[in-house]
């Protein structure tokens, strides 16, 4: 375990060496940002709307009491979406979509000697392959999470309009009521951290793949599993420290 941790830290250090040519790296960062951001928008939008809707319906179901104002449903949906559902569930889904893609892409490059070809040319392979992915992860995943928050709250609104458990006016009043900006800070910290975890762990698993197609698949699976575990662990740590 300590050997792997050491290799992971050394790989990260190599990844952020001075680039051979900034313009080439910049183009690669832009390409990765499109791949991570635009490429994941569809799945993030779908899960966010449904999660927001389900969160609203279930909260409304549990708060059947005349003593509790209906606006509380909006408040709880807002806070749970911002603090937990959007960053964590989006990150878990992205670990599957983005993380497996990173691990299998780099792993395939390793077993087909493309990484060796880069090194022979004098290119810092970790820098060229991994740093653009990490940069795109820590920039685009927070953007996706922000979009997810808005879509989740929209999903809650649609659920209210469709089910009439809570009126849309009460729901919107709840969304506006007693918002604590710390929740947004926690959401941003989580999203950035999760972006780093997904891209760096999966890139590490891919980079040290040895063997053939079977091992590439195993590396991708390991990358996703380790990323998910680390996301949940980081979720706990950040929540404990910041709330």
Partner 1 sequence: MIEVKDIVKTFGDNHVLNGISATFKAGKNNLIIGSSGSGKTTLLKCIVGLHDPTTGDVFYDAENFTDMDFEQRVPIRKQIGMLFQNSALFDSMTVEKNIIFPLNLFTNMSAAEKRDRANFCLQRVNLVGTNNLYPSELSGGMKKRVGIARAISMQPKYLFVDEPNSGLDPKTAILIDELINEITEDFKTTTVIVTHDMNSVMGIGDHIIFLHNGEKWWEGTNHEIAHTDNAELNSFVFASPFMKAAREKL
Q: Is 124 in the site for partner 1 (CB under 8 A)?
A: yes
Residue 20 or 177 having the CB closest to partner 1 = 20
> What region, left, alpha or beta, does residue 178 occupy, with left being phi > 0 and alpha being psi -120 to 50 degrees?
left
Neighbours of 164 (CB within 10 A): 10
**Tokens at residue 37, please?**
């951001």
Only one residue has tokens 């004098």, namely: 122
In angstroms, the CA 149 to CA 168 distance is 18
Q: Which is closer to partner 1, CB of 118 or CB of 242? A: 118
Please give the Cα distance from 146 to 24 (Å, whole number): 29
The smaller minimum CB distance to partner 1, of residues 47 and 111, is found at 111
First to last CA, the chain: 31
Min CB(92)–partner 1 separation in Å = 27
* Nearer to partner 1 (CB atom), residue 113 or residue 177: 113
Is the distance from CB of 209 to CB of 107 less than 8 angstroms? yes
Does position 9 bind partner 1 by CB under 8 A?
no
Q: Is 15 in the site for partner 1 (CB under 8 A)?
A: no
Answer yes or no whether residue 177 interacts with partner 1 by CB under 8 A.
Answer: no
Instruction: Kindly tell me which residue out of 4, 114, 163, 180 binds partner 1, with binding defined by CB under 8 A.
Output: 114
Which residues touch 115 (CB under 8 Å, ≥6 apart)? 106, 109, 125, 129, 207
Quick one: which of 34, 42, 46, 119 contacts partner 1 (CB under 8 A)? 119
| CA gap 143, 141 in Å, rounded | 5
The interface region with partner 1, picked from 60-68, 110-118, 183-191, 204-212 by CB under 8 A, is 110-118
Choose between 19 and 69: whose C-beta lies nearer to partner 1.
19
- The secondary structure of 179-227 as a DSSP string is --THHHHHHHHHHHHHHHHHHHHHHHHHHT--SSHHHHHHHHHHHHHHH
- Under the criterion CB under 8 A, does residue 148 sit at the interface with partner 1? no
Q: Residue 128 or 226: which CB sits closer to partner 1?
A: 128
Answer yes or no whether residue 21 interacts with partner 1 by CB under 8 A: yes
Contact status, residue 32 vs residue 138, Cβ threshold 8 Å: no
CA 204: distance to chain centroid? 17
* Least distance (Å) between residue 123 CB and partner 1: 6
Residue 24 touching partner 1 (CB under 8 A): yes
Beta carbon nearer to partner 1, 44 or 220? 220
Segment interacting with partner 1 (CB under 8 A) among 51-59, 105-113, 190-198, 228-236: 105-113
Which of residues 59, 80, 104, 108 is near partner 1 by CB under 8 A? 108
Q: Applying CB under 8 A, which part among 36-44, 73-81, 117-125, 161-169 lies near partner 1?
A: 117-125
């Amino acid at each position: 375990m300590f050997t792997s941790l050491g290799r992971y830290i050394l790989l990260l250090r190599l990844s952020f060496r001075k680039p051979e040519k900034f313009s080439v790296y910049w183009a690669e960062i832009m390409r990765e940002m499109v791949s991570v951001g635009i490429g994941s928008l569809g799945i993030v939008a779908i899960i966010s709307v449904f999660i927001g809707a389900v969160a609203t319906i279930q909260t409304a179901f549990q708060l059947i009491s005349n003593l509790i104002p209906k606006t509380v449903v909006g408040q709880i949906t807002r806070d749970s979406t911002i603090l937990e559902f959007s960053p964590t569930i989006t990150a878990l889904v992205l670990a599957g979509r983005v993380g497996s893609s990173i691990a299998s892409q780099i792993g395939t490059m390793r077993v087909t000697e493309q990484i060796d070809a880069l090194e022979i040319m004098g290119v810092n392979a970790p820098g060229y392959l991994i740093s653009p992915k990490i940069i795109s992860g820590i920039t685009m995943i927070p953007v996706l999470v922000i979009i997810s928050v808005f879509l989740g709250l929209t999903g809650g609104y649609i659920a209210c309009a469709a089910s009439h458990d809570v009126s849309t006016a009460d729901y919107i009043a709840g969304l506006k009521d007693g918002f604590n900006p710390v929740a947004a800070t926690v959401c941003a910290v989580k999203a950035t951290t999760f972006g780093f975890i997904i891209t760096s762990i999966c890139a590490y698993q891919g980079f040290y793949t040895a063997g053939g197609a079977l091992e590439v698949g195993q590396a991708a699976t390991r990358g996703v599993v380790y990323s998910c575990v680390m996301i949940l662990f980081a979720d706990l740590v950040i929540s404990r420290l910041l709330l």
